[in-house]
Structure 1
Amino acid sequence: MCGIFARVGSPPELVNQKLRGANAARGPDACKSCSFSLAQLELELFSSELRLRGTHPVVQPHERDGNILCWNGEVFAGLNILRDENDGIQLFDQLHLLSTIDLIRVRVLQRDYPVRFSLSPRVTQLTQATVQKLFFSRDLLGRRSLLIHKPSLENPYFLLTSVSAGSNPRYSLEELETGYIYCLDVGALSKSENASTMHWLCFVVLANVWTSRSAAYGQLARVNTTLPPNDAPLPGPGLDIIPGWLEESVDELISQLDQSVMLQVRDVPQDLHVPPDQPIDLLNVAFENPRKVKIQQEGNIDPNRRKKQKNSSNGTNGAPSAHVREYMVPDRITGLQEIEELQKLCPKRVWNFVEVNVPYHESHAARQFVEGLMSPVRTVMDLSLAIALYFASRGIGQIRTRQEDQPIPYVSPAKVLINGLGSDELLGGYGRHRTAFNVRGWHSVIEELQLEIDRIPARNLGRDDRVISSHGKETRHPFLSLDVVSFLANLPVQYKMDPRLPPGVGDKMLLRLASRKLGLLEASERKKRAMQFGSHSARMEGDTKGDAPLE
């Protein structure tokens, strides 16, 4: 994983410095810049590197025979990459074997070349000396961030960057649309007699990017549209018994996720699939929320909410001390319950339950920086989620050998974070899926599940990547392996979820059954809770709606 930055034209040097710095934070192990000129045009390609493969840091951009590759991603399958090899170098070698850019595009479209997005190349930039063109793209699901500044009369230059350096009047960044390989004809720009005029530069750059883009190189999975029969049986009132007709699908889901996790965590230096002598860090973030603290001190006029709070506080063994009570948020309570289950299932494993406690003054002080990282998105909900991810991924907290022991300060050394995003979208975990069934039946549920897949590239993955990677760490998504996505999309809808069953059973039913088969009894019964509410990162100072823009 790395940060990449490209410019065509001449932004103010302060802009260049800030964007280089923001991208350098993503890859603390090495960085390099390649700058050159074509006629009146200045070009720069910059990459930083987070070493997750190979025996030593690799300094990129990769260069050979005038070709340059900036690579922000990982090849998890399709190329035979040994433990001591770097996937970016291997990919560049494969690209170099192809004689023309058109052949590269055809191979990508045919999906038999390692640049296909099931291999998670995330973001690619390639220039070919003979044609003087810049090619760039994001992977099909948008798992890595890439932002673009399109030239304007006020700011007549072209920018690509993994991350923003915050709000700035000298650029207007937006997330690059997935599903295309884009091409910028730098050679045509450099040869034009009018290249020095801002208006012409704006027009030509936009024309080359937006009207000369290649055909779509992939398609998101299509949901199985077969409707359940009218007499479709209920799987059962609970999760203790797997119906015979679901056994194969449960086993296949376990196998698919096992393969996905294995491919995404093997060969990571000092990481896992997962040697038994290596610990696993479980990051659990909790915020001191002034609004919640006030409710605890003064009481809540809503008796139903007060009862809920009282019940949730009884979820751990013994009452929490005054020292930790303010951080005993819902996700901390369920996290402590789950660590006990994991320790029983794998007693020889060291499980580090990392309590990341965030005082209000610290989250308030970090707000401006986090807003800059998550830019260009700017809503109240975006901030609630981004700030939770920021402090969780930083990994600074405390651990305890036993819950009654005094905490020990701890900083997680993990470079790769595993994220469960995608399970709700693929397996019907949202309340809106149950609502769709109640309104129009199974047909409406199928339509909603297809919309979920179609929306994944435009949702939160780019924002999350920008925030988490600011600590020189990378998040990976086992549920969003294209093999897992394809498997789940292809299953009949009633195999994945059943809204006729109650919440905590029918939603994500297949995953719940798989979890229970693996011995995760507590986890299999938990109802969905949004991260910002479970950690108390939401609504720190008021009841502003989540979709409201930040002031």
Structure 2
Amino acid sequence: MCGIYCSISFGSPIHSSRETQELLKARGPDSTQAVSISLQIPNPTREAVHIHIFSTVLALRGDHIESQPLKDKHTESFLCWNGEAWRENGQVIGGNDSQHVFTLLLRACQSSANPSTETVIDALTSIAGPFAFIFYDAVSCRLFYGRDHLGRRSLLSRATCNGGMAFCSITDVPLSPGWKEVEAGGVYCVAPSNLPLSPDLLPWTMNLPRIDRSLPNGSVPLLSLSSETILKLEKYLRQSLHLRITDVPNLGQAKNNQDSEDAKIAVLFSGGLDCTLLARLAHDLLPPSQPIDLLNVAFENPRSMVAASGKDPTASAYESCPDRKTGRSSYLELLRICGGRKWRFIAINVPYKESESHHSTIAGLMAPHNTEMDLSIAKALYFAARGQGQIRNTISGQDHPYSTDARVLLSGLGADELFGGYRRHATAYARDGYPGLIEELDLDIQRLGQRNLGRDDRVISHWAKEARYPYLDEEFMKWTLQLPVWEKCGFRPDSASTVVSKEDNRSPPILDPAKQALRLLAWRLGMEQVARERKRAIQFGARTAKMQIGKGRKRGTDLIDG
């Protein structure tokens, strides 16, 4: 992962601000490099075209730190790459991926006299994984930039005063306003010889299938623990997870690289179905000696405390949070099922005053997003990713401070969109049956690229951590989208709850129909309590929503103050 700043200007270079550089260094503490290039190419101003780059790196692939931008020895072509290329045309990419992608793009440009069209698009759509990039092809004097089609990494752009453009992984608002998120709908191309710069959009050639729209012909078969769907679900999810958690290096780590107590992997852990299932499968894939940290965040919310004071005045502001309760419950189930592993439940308690003291930092990181809902979600991710909390000594029962060393954070995001986990999915089924449910799921999938993954990347990466999303793996998504809807969730015309085939004594009882395939997999893997857990939004589970007293009723779509 890296932090990117790049500007194209005429007459004189536009450097990144000191504040921007510090924010980029926070994202990538392992390597920092500034590069300036002057291009003597025809343009209306008859002045030199200046490209200035400031790039930082968080090393998470391969056996060495690869500084960025990557530069071609024979030309002035360069690449800034913020992402993870897991596969190319279905083949796993091992080791450091940035050089692999650079070579791929250089070849694409050399293979055609007009590289601004199919060749660059073909090269990028052959890559599976999250990314944002800036690539300059010196031969054609064109600069390409964009984000993967799901928008899993951040890239912002703005016009500059002299007709140029600037790009960055984060904003330095309010120093330089006008930043906009680069849309994830395709690759953009600009020719520095044209003033003012005007990006051309080259739409993605989508390689993901659309959702299966078939409807049942007759009665709907019941799912079972040993059905082919559940077995394949486990297979594809394991494959996705394997790419994201094995062979994570300790490059750039401050502590002793040989310390077996250092965790390489942590889970953004509410105790819910999606994240706990990832933790359970990670146990099967990682060496037994490698700890796994579970990051569970809870906030002191004055509104919730006032509401609860009459019920139990002695209740802890943190331990009474819904996500803390489910987190501890699921943690105990992991201890019971996954013996021999060192699981660390990190209770991240955020006092109200501390939360408020970080308000401006969080608001700056999530910009240009600026609603109350953005803030409540960003706060939870910000403090969870920081990873500073307390762990409990199992013998003495005493808590003591602990900060995770893990740089890779697993997130369960995407499971709700694929398997029907939101309340609106149940509402759509109740209103219009399977056709309505399919339309709602399809809408969720199609707008993933317009969701908030760029915001989340900016907030989480501030702590030199990288979020990875196993449910958003391209191969996993392809398989899931081709499943009939009744094999993913348990909504049925006869009974929304009687959905499980009774095949043995371990068969589960009535389970919630939302994300039922995942619930059955959790049950199959021994996580029976987790299989029963219901969906809860992070801002309500961690109690970051509606925190301020005296500000009246606020909606999630309201703009934040300041």
Give the structure-1-normalised TM-score. Answer: 0.85
* Cα deviation, residue 334, structure 1: 0.7
* Deviation >6 Å, runs of 4+: 10-14
Partner of residue 294, structure 2: 282
2:59 to 51, 55, 63: 51
In 1, the alpha carbon distance for the partners of 2:177 and 2:16 equals 9
| Residue 330 of structure 1 pairs with residue 322 of structure 2 | yes
Structure 2: unaligned runs, 5 residues or longer:
40-46, 251-263, 266-284, 498-509
* Cα deviation, residue 220, structure 1: 4.5
Q: CA RMSD in A?
A: 2.4
Partner of residue 529, structure 1: 536
1:148-179 per-residue CA deviation (whole Å, 9 max, x = no partner) reads 1134xx574311111112334x3311111113
In 1, the alpha carbon distance for the partners of 2:395 and 2:380 equals 23
In 2, the alpha carbon distance for the partners of 1:12 and 1:126 equals 18
Contact 1:437 1:499 in 2 (8 A): yes
1:467 to 449, 454, 459: 459
Q: 1:224 corresponds to which letter in structure 2?
A: D
Q: 1:469 corresponds to which letter in structure 2?
A: S
| Residue 176 of structure 1 pairs with residue 164 of structure 2 | no
Contact 1:179 1:217 in 2 (8 A): no
* Cα deviation, residue 441, structure 1: 1.3
1:226 to 198, 208, 214: 214
* Aligned positions of 1:103-502 closer than 5 A: 106-107=118-119, 109-110=121-122, 113=123, 115-116=124-125, 119-120=128-129, 122-151=131-160, 156-168=163-175, 170-186=176-192, 188-189=193-194, 201=195, 204-206=196-198, 209=199, 212-235=200-223, 241-242=224-225, 247-270=227-250, 271=264, 273-297=285-309, 299=310, 324-402=316-394, 405-500=397-492, 501-502=496-497
* Cα deviation, residue 340, structure 1: 0.8
Q: 1:31 corresponds to which letter in structure 2?
A: T
SS at match of 2:514: coil
* Cα deviation, residue 121, structure 1: 5.1
SS at match of 1:471: coil
SS at match of 1:178: coil
* Cα deviation, residue 274, structure 1: 1.2
Question: Residues 9, 329 of structure 1: CA spacing in aligned structure 2 closer, same or farther, 3 A cutoff?
Answer: same
Contact 1:145 1:461 in 2 (8 A): yes
In 2, the alpha carbon distance for the partners of 1:72 and 1:180 equals 16
In 1, the alpha carbon distance for the partners of 2:397 and 2:523 equals 30
Q: 1:163 corresponds to which letter in structure 2?
A: I
| Residue 72 of structure 1 pairs with residue 82 of structure 2 | yes
In 1, the alpha carbon distance for the partners of 2:130 and 2:540 equals 33
Q: 1:294 corresponds to which letter in structure 2?
A: V
Question: Residues 80, 331 of structure 1: CA spacing in aligned structure 2 closer, same or farther, 3 A cutoff?
Answer: closer
Greater helix share, 1 or 2? 1
SS at match of 1:166: coil
Q: 1:178 corresponds to which letter in structure 2?
A: A
After superposing the two structures, state which structure 1 stretch, 324-333 or 435-444, moved more: 324-333
* Cα deviation, residue 335, structure 1: 0.7
Question: Residues 484, 539 of structure 1: CA spacing in aligned structure 2 closer, same or farther, 3 A cutoff?
Answer: same
After superposing the two structures, state which structure 1 stretch, 269-278 or 41-50, moved more: 269-278
Give the structure-2-normalised TM-score. Answer: 0.83
SS at match of 2:307: helix
Structure 1: unaligned runs, 5 residues or longer:
190-200, 236-240, 300-305, 311-320
Partner of residue 2, structure 1: 2
* Cα deviation, residue 74, structure 1: 1.3
In 2, the alpha carbon distance for the partners of 1:81 and 1:441 equals 42
Question: Residues 472, 59 of structure 1: CA spacing in aligned structure 2 closer, same or farther, 3 A cutoff?
Answer: same
* Cα deviation, residue 105, structure 1: 5.2
1:222-243 per-residue CA deviation (whole Å, 9 max, x = no partner) reads 10010122422454xxxxx53x
Partner of residue 18, structure 1: 19
Contact 1:77 1:263 in 2 (8 A): no
After superposing the two structures, state which structure 1 stretch, 380-389 or 87-96, moved more: 87-96
Question: Residues 80, 536 of structure 1: CA spacing in aligned structure 2 closer, same or farther, 3 A cutoff?
Answer: closer
1:514-540 per-residue CA deviation (whole Å, 9 max, x = no partner) reads 111111111111000111111111111
Q: How many residues align?
A: 497
Partner of residue 197, structure 1: none
Identity of aligned residues (%): 38
* Cα deviation, residue 324, structure 1: 4.4
Contact 2:82 2:132 in 1 (8 A): yes
In 2, the alpha carbon distance for the partners of 1:103 and 1:33 equals 27
In 2, the alpha carbon distance for the partners of 1:19 and 1:51 equals 20
